[in-house]
Amino acid sequence: QVQLVESGGGLVQAGGSLRLSCAASGRIFSTYIMGWFRQAPGKEREFVAAIKWITSDTRYADSVKGRFTISRDNAKNLVYLEMKSLKPEDTAVYYCAVNSAGMIFTTPRGYDNWGQGTHVTVSS
């Protein structure tokens, strides 16, 4: 089983940038998909971005395309989410997740393990 720990959240002004990190421990198989989701207060958890561990193929939610970049460091078992041009509506708890199915899913139920989340607050 893979354990995930997110870090890098914080308070930033609109237009600013943050980089989130997700440290994965345990056995990471080449077929795994790493994803980032977020959940704002009173809202459902929503897909942000995902990356295939072996090929680096990526997918993004329309709301973050062109502003966020997902990447991974296989040697360090780290996944990053680089966030630029942040908006107040990006405020949420951001979660890292992994699925072993080998396909990129954009719904939370497609993912097997989750981190504890890291808070991102964007002030206007």
Which letter does DSSP use for residue 90 in this model?
G
| Amino acid 73: pLDDT | 92
Query: How is 29-59 classified by DSSP, letter by letter?
Result: -TT-EEEEEEE-TTS--EEEEEEETTT--EE
User: In this predicted model, which residue has the larger pLDDT, 27 or 4?
Assistant: 4
* pLDDT tens by residue, 35-49: 999 999 999 999 999
Read off the pLDDT of residues 56-100 as tens digits, 9 standing for 90 and up. 899 999 999 999 999 999 899 999 999 999 999 999 999 999 999
Render pLDDT for 15-32 as a digit per residue (tens, 0 to 9): 999 999 999 998 888 889
Per-residue pLDDT, 29: 83
pLDDT recorded at residue 27: 84
